[in-house]
Structure 1
Amino acid sequence: MGAWGAAISSNDTYADIYGEFFDLYNDGLDVDEISKKLVLDNKEIIDDTDDSNNFWFALAKAQWECKQLDKSVFDRIKKIVETGADLEVCRQLEADEKDIKKRKVVLDKFLAELQTERLKGKSRKKKIIRQPVFEKGDCLTFKLENGNYGGAVILEAIKDNEYGHNLIATTRINQSNKPTKKDFEDAEVLVMNFASWDNKPNVKWYLPIRHKHIPHLIETIDSLEVQKNYDINSSMFGFVADFDINIIEATDKQIKSEETKPRSKTKQTIKELIKNKSRWKLW
């Protein structure tokens, strides 16, 4: 599980389940059929105490938006919220009390929302073919909370599909001067061990569905040659939809965490992600 904040939707599991729900919905499947499929396909998440609530929150939200909130799903959410079970999960994941209080407010509002009835169910969307917002190899920089520059590299750009996916590797760049192409070439990938993150390299497929509010935060510096090709259908990387939260704020949180907690011992470099291993041995 990757949690980014107090909001119901601020974690990878919610984003994945909610996104898959409406992918299937827009393909014409019924809400009940979609719900059963998601439950069957995500047993491991549902059985994970740390992540189970996020699955049910996403399913409940999607059903509610379609005006088809199942009573058993609602009752499950009501129990999670009213017993404080989700807040206890947050405590076990070492969230501070300030964030837990924010989470409680969010949960109470979420439950209240589910108890209201939408005037109209969400319409199915006709799939639109989109192009990625970044080109493969782009080196992106952005300002961090500490005033320094951070950076990310675009490992892949999937064209002519519904979302226009980019695969983004966040780096450990954290410097006062604007990074150069060489800085990106020599950079390490940001490996996250703050909060509940367990030494996870921050390499994610980016769905730019809310990207229109982001471009002013990002500058393209240069471009690297990415020799590797990444297949979205067979990769193990997760999906994110908020560049500011999942890339910029993630860097800020990891930097802040390292003031009191050692950085992860796991290391991965940008060169490892962009270069094919040579098949030739020199001697």
Structure 2
Amino acid sequence: MATDGVKIIDGDTAHDTYWGIMDLYDSGCDLADIERKYPLENGDDSYDDFDDEIYVTCCGLAYWEIGLMTPSRLELIRSVIDKGAGVEEWNRYSEKEGKARQRVLNSYWQKISQPNVKIRARKKYRKITNFHFQPDDLLTFQLSDGHYVAAICAQIDQYRGKCHYMFVPTTYYDTQKPVLSDLYSRDILGHRIDSGFPPEEIKVMQPGIERVWNYAGGKRNFFMGVYKLGVDHKDLAAFSHRLEKIGTLQIVEGLKETGILAYDSSFEELEASFFRIKNDMDAEKLGVYDKWPVSVLCNIES
């Protein structure tokens, strides 16, 4: 199915549309510009009636919340709902799901068909500035079995008030605490993403990919992404003292794309992730991870 559940905001298209509008709204974008970028009647020929219902209903919800609803727009939303594409699609899987979708649509219509007396205020999200670590910091910590591991803080993402540190694991695993130069002979974990794009387009879309292609023997029809372990700023505050910076190591910017993504909320979870990685590598689960030399993915000063 094209969505994950029966709710109005419940799937990729719905999330991308609703939050696309809200992100523009919260950034101070003019309402007229939002209407142009996300028209209620989107005119996408690739959308069938089911996809159109998903788009129109979540777009309509956003319009109602920020004060853009009009009688003509309500009429359009009603006409899309009355086609019954969503209920019909869910009925193909189970009558229970179809009825659940109908209840959601009934509740949704009851809500948006009434004037919104409390227009949603634009939100201002606080930006974190007192970082625990910085991008490109090379970090090490000791596991409970006495071995040290190492990871690169590849980037820090801030979005809608959330701040996450993206740690990229390396294959370092030793009883000796590493120094920067020890990492030059190790690998970075990630994932190869096959592509049907021509090589010249891939090079534009992912600058630096030639470094990986050359290492891989010249095959030139794939993207790559690194393995990232995300940790929230607030969660990291409880155990940042257990991670030690031993230098800086910069992954080429274009090669910081995400190949595998997981989130940890405690030191114990982070440690478990590294144990799992080590066990998978020992079992040669190469279908789970690809790995590339640090010297290939990183800018190393000679």
Q: TM-score, normalised by structure 1?
A: 0.49
Report which of the two has the higher share of strand: 2
For CA contacts below 8 A with separation 6 or more, give which structure has more relative contact order: 1
Structure whose alpha-carbon radius of gyration is higher:
2
Q: TM-score, normalised by structure 2?
A: 0.46
